[in-house]
Amino acid sequence: MPVGSIPVGITGTGICLPERVLTNQELEKMVDTSDEWVKTRTGIGERRIIDETMTTSDLAVKAGEMALENAGLTPDAVDLIVVATVTPDMYFPSTACLVQEKIGAIKAAAFDVSAGCTGFVYALAVASQFVQTGMYQTVLVIGAEALSRVIDWGDRNTCVLFGDGAGAVVLRPVDQGFGILSLELGSDGSGGELLKLSAAGSLCCGIPGTSGKESRAGYAEYLQMAGSEVFKFAVRIMGECAANAVLKAGMTNGDINLFIPHQANIRIIKAAAKRLRLPDEKVYVNVAKYGNTSSASIPVALHEALLEGKIKKGDNIALVGFGAGLTWGAGVIRWAV
């Protein structure tokens, strides 16, 4: 944290998970896969899926309202809303603006952040600076995804991995020595082709003299991923990035009380924990229940860890994620409440 800046920490958390549970056994009836195959390779047993009436902003609203309630605040106290998502309700307006209206945060500015599954860490880094500088007192940061809407349910390599959900945190000034102690962000655009949704945006849409369908010809309308390449990248970068954030916070790995990684794949999580030399009891894992919820992954895990009593005031929490872009990010937080 820069010298002279205001310490900022998380004072409330919230989540929203759809009621619909899609199990591996159900997927066996949809694609050529098996419960054993999915669990062995990913650690995922089930995931949550929104129904036809819900959108990403609906998930974000419920998570945000819970976070505010747990922080003892009302929506009119919010100065800024930052939503991390790769599945917005629409291209514009931003999902954050839709959330602002739905929760009645009449004073709040609002914008979205897109950094793939690293989105929450990126949003945390951006939002925290508004509090550190004194520009704002209260910022609502939400990671929300409706990935089921961009998945090819006939592709067993991707449909088994992803789920829907939202997680939110409230950022406020905290006592000296607490809150966000370090943040580490990175990107490598040369890996952009490894994880993408291409049939959208100026790359292919609205070409003069063609219909919309013709413009999108040859571009995928669903998420595409080069699984093995993304896996190798993640195994390397998760531990490396987290280790850098720990070092930047002036700590050693032994100072970390709980490690909350992006919940993408149990093998990636174990590789990162090994890199940090952390025992299983210091690593929070819920990938079996929800699969990969992208930018919602870390805040959902953080909220559940709090509910389970795994975090107390003064604990040092390390967060790390990786995602499309390619992007990565990590942070260390000394819990303040």
> At how many degrees (to 10) do helices 35-42 and 266-275 cross?
20
Q: Supply 189's token pair.
A: 């655009």
Instruction: Choose the catalytic residue: 24, 70, 292, 316.
Output: 292
Instruction: Choose the catalytic residue: 262, 265, 303, 316.
Output: 262
Determine the Cα–Cα distance for residues 331 and 333; give it in Å rounded to an integer.
7
Instruction: Choose the catalytic residue: 16, 97, 117, 159.
Output: 117
Query: Is there a catalytic annotation at residue 303?
Result: no
Cα(first)–Cα(last) distance of the chain, in Å? Answer: 19
Among 90, 96, 153, residue whose Cα is nearest residue 119: 96
Query: Is there a catalytic annotation at residue 262?
Result: yes
333 touches 141 (CB < 8 A): no
Which residues lie below 8 Å from residue 13, measured CB to CB, with a gap of 6+?
A: 66, 67, 70, 167, 168, 169, 170, 299, 302, 303, 306
Beta-carbon count within 10 A of 111 CB? 17
Residues taking part in catalysis: 117, 262, 292
